[in-house]
Amino acid sequence: MKSWQQFPLVRLIPPFVIGIIPGIYYEQKWNIPLWFIGCIFFSFSYFIFSRKITIPFHFRWVEGFMIILLTIILSNKTPSIQKDTLKNNYYGNFQPMSRFSIVEICEPVCRKEKSCKVTVHVNFLRINQKWIRTGGDAIIYISNNSYSKLLCYGDRIIIDSRFVLPDGPQNPGGFDNRNYLKLKGIYYQTYVKSNHWRFIPGTSRNPFFHLALCWRDNLLMILRNNGIKGRELTVAGALLLGDVDDVDKPLLNDYASTGVIHILSVSGMHVGMIFLILEKLFSFLEKRKNGSWIKASVIVSLIWIYALITGLSPAVMRAAAMLSLIVSSRTMKRHPDILNIWAVSIILLLIWRPILLADPGFQLSYLAVAGIVIFYKPINKSYIPDNMILDKVWSIIAVSVAAQILTLPVCLYYFNQFPNYFIITNIIVIPLSNMIIYTGMMAIAVGHIPGLSLMIAKVLSIMVWVMNAFIHWIGGLPFSVTRGIVISFPQSVIMYLGILAVTLFLFRQRKIWLFILLSLMILLSSTFLREKYRRLSGRSFIIYNIKGKSLFDFITGGRSILVGNTSSLTDPYFAETFMKTRQNRKLTGLFLFENPHPYGSARHFSYEHYFYKSGEFIIFVKKKIMIIDKKIPYHINRKVALDYVVVSGNVRVTMKEILNYCKPGMIILDSSNPRCKAMELMAEAKDLHVSCYDVSMSGAYSVDY
């Protein structure tokens, strides 16, 4: 293993990332005075360049510490410079005062069945009969009509609609669209009716990006015109041109569960293949005067044009940036280490767009490359096959395992699953996808030649069909994927430290790293034990948000009791969210209790020692709950003290009637209540100063105790 001193730029990555994180994930910046930054920079420069000062050897760490501190401070300023929300003219500062706005479409239009999803830049807002110039991005959904089909990148439109905050997760385990958009720098969205917008003249579209999108549409049209359709067209478009909008969810699940989801997006592998083709194609330029510089310029330009055509995904930008640096260094007769190039590309991309750090694709792409660079050679050399075919297969296995080593903790953290047959899948899919890419390029190149183009397109369609069928078959095998592996961010960090300890032990052969690894394993085990103890000893009460239905979940000891409309589990959307909740909480037991009971009124019911139901009353681990789904009985001598009162099923009741009957700690309106009824009760509760929660408006009600 090379000395750590040979990777100075790699050592800058941790402090650089540490400085960026607060501005991205926590929207905070450290208000460090400029004089303090100047003092550090001046002191550092004086120590480095002054010959009058000789730093003692035992103080050699001071220089490194100052570099790290300066890197953290400067990188922390990067997100705030580009953050629209910190600017005075950010359109969100004027919400919800403004209704009319002029926006410009800044990304390709995503067309759905009932509406178009469009990312826009808000240029102007109309406030007090005046147009004010603003800035910031937003998401708008435009109802489909004949005009919405004409929308494209760069169009400027005026809309009549107020921007609102995106929805958060409506149920535990549900998709958090608000946080997802927030990490992309988007904080507001709106739905625009078909007659509440119109085109207006003028645009400031990027001509290069616009041209690249036109090329992509034309290239997709070539595939379409040559008879490629259905799933074969969507997968070919994703592989060759990065168009993933039309890939259906079942197919995405097949690729995800088999560990080859990266195949469906243009990645470093695709850009590398383009580079190899261009390298051969323009090799004749090296014989000319200054030919190497001309060749490098042409190759780098074409690589970035391809990156533009495919939509500038994080993986493509990583590959394009690294290849650009490699080509430039080779032209200058330099041979930097690939890890230093890896580090430089990270720094450059994050300076240009710091929000990329929050993108899982960006993280996985760079971690996969680092894993291949560090672990591929040792793994590949550990076994020398006897024949060429076996050598190629072993090379694919070595690459797959090397990439998996550093991406595993991130994959578990984001996706909570592990593809058990990823090696088998990659042995077939990687060579097949390479053949598909080359065949697809050929099909596009000869797309206007009758006969030949149809023949090549047919071969391409068959190859894509075979790959889809193979992946679907692998995904359907027993134990093809292990689901429900839920780890926290600190646990993923501990896993990375363990990988680092193992790596250093293998390369350095020092026992101290084994001791550190053992300590990390004990720490990781203790975190899992702590979670298990909290799960077994904790109690939770959840009222799910399912439109028009009531469903309550009582959780304790790793088991749950569902009470209410249990037919909701047949809804695919909610079933997925419900299973995610169970995975996150690592629940193993489930008991269903339909309320009302299908075989008559179950007046009394108990489950073990912690759950008891009698009519409309429920006692769950000393918590008293009443579900009001019919008229309140008035034959009482004194008010009943309750922890929770749930109003359900559009029952005719008022807040005063509830308060006359009982003393509730919290009144909850579940999602079976009509919207108008819930609004009336919420307004009445506000007047009476009663704690009230509307599930249909604010999402599922969940409490842990």
Question: Would you state the torsion angle of the CA atoms of residues 621, 622, 626, 627, taken in this order, to the nearest 10 degrees?
Answer: -10
Residue with tokens 């590949």: 380
pLDDT at 245: 67
Average pLDDT over residues 14-41: 70
pLDDT at 214: 80
pLDDT at 99 over 70: yes
pLDDT at 76: 76
Is residue 576 within 8 A of residue 586, CB to CB? The reply is: no
Each residue's pLDDT tens digit, 449-475: 878 888 888 888 888 899 889 988 988
| Closest listed residue to residue 576, CA positions, set 262, 249, 251, 260 | 249
pLDDT at 596 over 70: no
Residue 497: band (very low, low, confident or very high) from pLDDT cuts 50, 70, 90: very high
- What mean pLDDT value characterizes the chain? 81
Kindly list the domain boundaries of the chain, sorted by start residue: 4-82, 91-205, 210-480, 489-532, 539-704
pLDDT at 513: 87
Each residue's pLDDT tens digit, 384-419: 888 888 888 888 888 888 888 888 898 888 888 888
Cα–Cα distance for residue pair 336/695, rounded to 1 Å: 58
For 410, the token pair is 């991130």
Cα–Cα distance for residue pair 507/375, rounded to 1 Å: 11
pTM: 0.81
CATH of 91-205, one of 3.90.1200.10, 2.40.50.140, 3.40.50.300, 2.60.120.10: 2.40.50.140
pLDDT at 599: 38
Tell me if residue 245 falls in helix, strand or coil: coil
Percent share of the chain, pLDDT over 70: 88
Each residue's pLDDT tens digit, 325-376: 888 887 777 777 788 888 888 888 888 888 888 888 788 888 888 888 888 8
Each residue's pLDDT tens digit, 523-534: 999 999 988 888
pLDDT at 48 over 70: no
Residue 67: band (very low, low, confident or very high) from pLDDT cuts 50, 70, 90: confident
Q: Comparing 91-205 with 539-704, is the CATH topology the same? A: no
Is residue 403 within 8 A of residue 203, CB to CB? The reply is: no
pLDDT at 693: 92
Tell me if residue 509 falls in helix, strand or coil: coil
pLDDT at 116: 87
Q: Does domain 539-704 have CATH number 3.65.10.10?
A: no
pLDDT at 655: 87
Residue 519: band (very low, low, confident or very high) from pLDDT cuts 50, 70, 90: very high
Which phi and psi (to 5°) does residue 589 adopt? Answer: -110, 145
| Residue 591 bridge partners (DSSP) | 561
Cα–Cα distance for residue pair 607/57, rounded to 1 Å: 71
pLDDT at 283: 79
- Give, in order, the Cα–Cα distances in Å from 328 to each of 47, 281, 296, 635: 32, 18, 7, 87
Average pLDDT over residues 586-595: 74
pLDDT at 615 over 70: yes
For 78, the token pair is 């990067």
Cα–Cα distance for residue pair 29/38, rounded to 1 Å: 18
pLDDT at 46: 58
| Closest listed residue to residue 457, CA positions, set 226, 220, 217 | 226
Each residue's pLDDT tens digit, 114-154: 888 888 999 888 888 888 888 888 999 988 888 888 888 88
